[in-house]
Amino acid sequence: MTFKNMMIVALLTFSLAAAAFAEEPKNAAPAGGSTPAATAAAPAMPAPPSAMAPASSQPAPATAPAQKKAEVKANKAVTLTMFAIIIAITLGVVVWAAKHTKTTADFYAAGGGITGAQNGWAISGDYMSAASFLGISGMISLYGIDGFMYSVGWLVAYITVLLIVAEPCRNAGKYTLGDILSFRTDPKPVRAVAALSTVAVSTFYLTAQMVGAGKLMALLVGIPYKASIIGVGILMVGYVVFGGMTATTWVQIIKAGLLMSGAILLSVLVLVKAGFNPIFFFEQVVTNPDIQDHVSKLVLKDGIVLNGVDAGQRFLEAGLFMKAPLDQISLGMALVLGTAGMPHILMRFFTVPTAQAARKSVIIAMFIIGAFYVLTTLLGFGAAIHLTPQAIIKVDPAGNMATLMLAQQLGSEIAPILGDLFLAFLCSVAFATILAVVSGLVLAASAAIAHDIYVNVIKDGHADQHEQVMAARITSLVVGAAGIIIGIMAENANVAHLVALAFAVASSGNLPVVILSLFWRKFNTAGVISGLLVGTVASIGLVLVSPNMTYPKLVAAGAQKVVAALEAKQAALPPGQALAEKDAKTLAKAKVDAQKTGTSMMGLEKPLFSLKNPGIVSIPLGFLAAIIGCLLFPNKRSEEMFDELYVRQNTGLGMSKAIDH
């Protein structure tokens, strides 16, 4: 057995040992507690992109007309067994891929030998996050059609990718964003700035994924947070260091297949309950008394009271959650344009042999992702019907556990063991989802550092294949280790805004310079640097002074209102009667929060920028800065090289031949 294979086997051993011998967390989340604050996975809607739906701002009803089973706890033995099977399969892929990963092209782009269909599934696996699977369906189960509006942004984003960047980037680039931007500019400063942007985006997204993974495993299986982070970290490092893009691609394909299988199977069970009749299905939504009661309490905060069928119908209309149109437009801009600027998505187009394959991969990904989001809509409404919003909120106010609760209940109705098996399977799928996404992010960040900074800036392009591959592997190891450390440090941090940051930077910094570099003759080095810097700084700066941050005085003001309301409720009770247990806990927490003082991390008492996503401001700033920088410092050479770039991006001339895998 070679040293490389021995190391891979060791990774499997350590990962399984961490899971098998993990102790129960001392402070495990209670059944009625909240899941990790909007994490796991991606956007947030700002998450998706954060992996979970944002926490509910609405109070849970004090009483539910018909409380259903309100707990979700995976069978640890069954779930860990499924985890072990998935890990064993994926590490088997790594062993196979390691034998084929010998050159830089193999490591970064799988030798260009991935077919369009394979790449389409891999893109889907790279893009469909645990946030989408759990967060969006959970949001739909609590806020109806508003949750589906998040899905639209992710799907429409690939139209931008297909029409603008897929084919030109595949033809003009080699491995990274820096390759595309440096083709007709001064390569060293451009590669350095592009690498910084790539690392920033990847770090924001990676941190959210890692924290989500740790919290999700602690909540569902009882594996301690740190053990989960270390286990995920070891696996993602193993996938990337030994298998490179080939292993990462196949892990993403496997994950996409598992995710679609789980979503389809659960959707079929939901449809069976509705007799495969969509009209009857939505009639169930409108006439469900629990949904009606839930909506009546949500709308009550707007000063409008709806009851009965009117309340049920309102669940199928927009506006229960998204009540700030300008913020939604800004978010939509970041999602639709940010995807085309995400480094780990751009890297996928360098893995196919032809421009036709690049286009085909995007089309296939669009169909898979589109079908997936339709299924999440079905699952969200199905959870509202069969679990009730009240029961979902009792387990997790953000609704992130709705899909898993639904799987456990519908499976148990067939046979008790099926409920445990189905829940364990979906937990394993969520775990595989996180592994696939973080592996792609680590590969993108390590490519920016090793290929752009080390090979092309420090070594000035003079590095042999062995040195380049070694640099790539060492960098991947360092990036992965940094991801583990950051994930552990961020255990108690609210990382929901990091997904918004990732998409904001990608849409405001990366996309403007990519588009202008590919399609504007006068674009040059000054334009790239000014666009990247201004777009990145503007998006990060606006998020730091936005409502995404925590403002203690505002928290205290809101808590004081809760205290006043609950104390009034308590005073209205008959003598000797106390508040319900849930209200009593809420009151106790509100009294603590009401004492908070201080400012946000930026020293502010309240937000300076009112929108949660800065896209509507930072994206135009990124384009404007790139254009102004270019016009102020014109460059004759960049203009003269545009014709060569134009021919190359439209024909693929100059691309290296694919390697058959």
- Return d(Cα 570, Cα 582) in angstroms, integer: 13
Exposure string (b/e) for 418-434, b if CB count within 10 Å is 16 or more? bbbbbbbbbbbbbbbbb
If one compares 368 and 55, the residue with the highest pLDDT of the two is 368
At residue 145, the pLDDT reads: 86
pLDDT value at 297 more than 90: no
CB atoms within 10 A of CB 116: 20
Q: Which single residue is written with the structure tokens 């920033």? A: 200
Q: Which single residue is written with the structure tokens 């996938």? A: 239
Radius of gyration of the chain (CA): 25
- Return d(Cα 263, Cα 414) in angstroms, integer: 18
Three-state DSSP class for residue 194: helix
At residue 267, the pLDDT reads: 95
pLDDT value at 528 more than 70: yes
- Name the residue among 402, 345, 313 with its Cα closest to residue 133: 402
Are 426 and 410 contacting, i.e. CB atoms less than 8 angstroms apart? no
pLDDT in tens, 473-518: 999 999 989 989 988 988 876 666 677 778 888 999 999 999 999 8
Spell out the alpha helix ranges (H) of 575-659.
581-593, 615-632, 636-640, 642-651
Q: How far is CA 530 from CA 379, 555, 620, in A?
A: 45, 38, 13
Domain definitions of the chain by residue range: 3-62+86-551+599-651
Q: How far is CA 479 from CA 208, 450, 564, in A?
A: 15, 11, 49
Q: How far is CA 546 from CA 407, 495, 540, 604, in A?
A: 37, 14, 10, 10
pLDDT value at 11 more than 50: no
- Return d(Cα 245, Cα 258) in angstroms, integer: 20
Cβ-based neighbours of 117, under 8 Å, separated by 6 or more: 360, 361, 364
- Return d(Cα 222, Cα 51) in angstroms, integer: 19
- Name the residue among 522, 401, 433 with its Cα closest to residue 71: 401
Cβ-based neighbours of 600, under 8 Å, separated by 6 or more: 549, 550, 551, 552
Per-residue confidence band for 72, with pLDDT thresholds at 50, 70 and 90? low
Ranges 45-54, 419-428, 539-548: which has the least confidence: 45-54
What's the burial of 462, exposed, middle or buried (CB within 10 Å: 0-12/13-18/19+)? exposed
Per-residue confidence band for 583, with pLDDT thresholds at 50, 70 and 90? confident
pLDDT in tens, 30-41: 333 333 333 333
Three-state DSSP class for residue 47: strand
Residues in the chain: 661
- Using omega within 30 degrees of 0 as the cis cutoff, is the peptide bond preceding 512 cis? no
Q: Which single residue is written with the structure tokens 């067994």? A: 81
CB atoms within 10 A of CB 3: 7
> Which tokens go with 321?
């959650």
Are 212 and 41 contacting, i.e. CB atoms less than 8 angstroms apart? yes
Q: Within 13 Å and on the Cβ side, how many CA atoms surround 255?
A: 33
- Name the residue among 90, 390, 102, 136 with its Cα closest to residue 258: 90
> Which tokens go with 184?
């007709």
Cβ-based neighbours of 54, under 8 Å, separated by 6 or more: 38, 44, 45, 46, 47, 139, 398, 496
Are 329 and 149 contacting, i.e. CB atoms less than 8 angstroms apart? no
Q: Across the strands, what pairs with 44?
A: 47
Vertex 100: Cα angle to 99 and 106 (nearest 5): 140
The reported pTM is 0.81
pLDDT in tens, 110-122: 888 899 999 999 9
pLDDT > 70 fraction of the chain, expressed in percent and rounded: 85
At residue 142, the pLDDT reads: 92
Cβ-based neighbours of 399, under 8 Å, separated by 6 or more: 53, 56, 135, 138, 139, 141, 142, 392, 393
Cα torsion angle, 445, 198, 125, 375, sign: positive
pLDDT in tens, 619-661: 999 999 999 999 999 999 999 899 888 888 877 676 654 444 4
At residue 154, the pLDDT reads: 72
Three-state DSSP class for residue 137: helix
Per-residue confidence band for 299, with pLDDT thresholds at 50, 70 and 90? low
Q: What DSSP assignment string belongs to 68-100?
A: --------HHHHHHHHHHHHHHHHHHHHHHHHH
> Which tokens go with 465?
């294949």
pLDDT in tens, 390-416: 999 888 887 888 998 999 999 999 988
Q: What DSSP assignment string belongs to 238-260?
A: HHHHHHHHHHHHHHHHHHHHHHH
Spell out the alpha helix ranges (H) of 490-580.
496-505, 511-519, 525-544, 552-571
Instruction: Tell me which fold the domain 3-62+86-551+599-651 belongs to.
Output: Sodium/glucose cotransporter (1.20.1730)
Task: Please give the single-letter amino acid code of residue 391.
Answer: A
Across the chain, what does the average pLDDT equal?
81
Q: How far is CA 382 from CA 107, 284, 407, 493, in A?
A: 43, 9, 10, 32
At residue 626, the pLDDT reads: 95
Cβ-based neighbours of 84, under 8 Å, separated by 6 or more: 16, 19
- Return d(Cα 189, Cα 529) in angstroms, integer: 8
- Name the residue among 285, 297, 351 with its Cα closest to residue 107: 351
If one compares 75 and 131, the residue with the highest pLDDT of the two is 75
- Distance spanning both ends of the chain, measured CA to CA: 22
Cβ-based neighbours of 651, under 8 Å, separated by 6 or more: 171
- DSSP letter (8 states) at residue 468: H
Cβ-based neighbours of 615, under 8 Å, separated by 6 or more: 330, 331, 332, 333, 334, 337, 338, 503, 504, 507, 508, 539
Ranges 239-248, 368-377, 548-557: which has the least confidence: 548-557
At residue 555, the pLDDT reads: 86
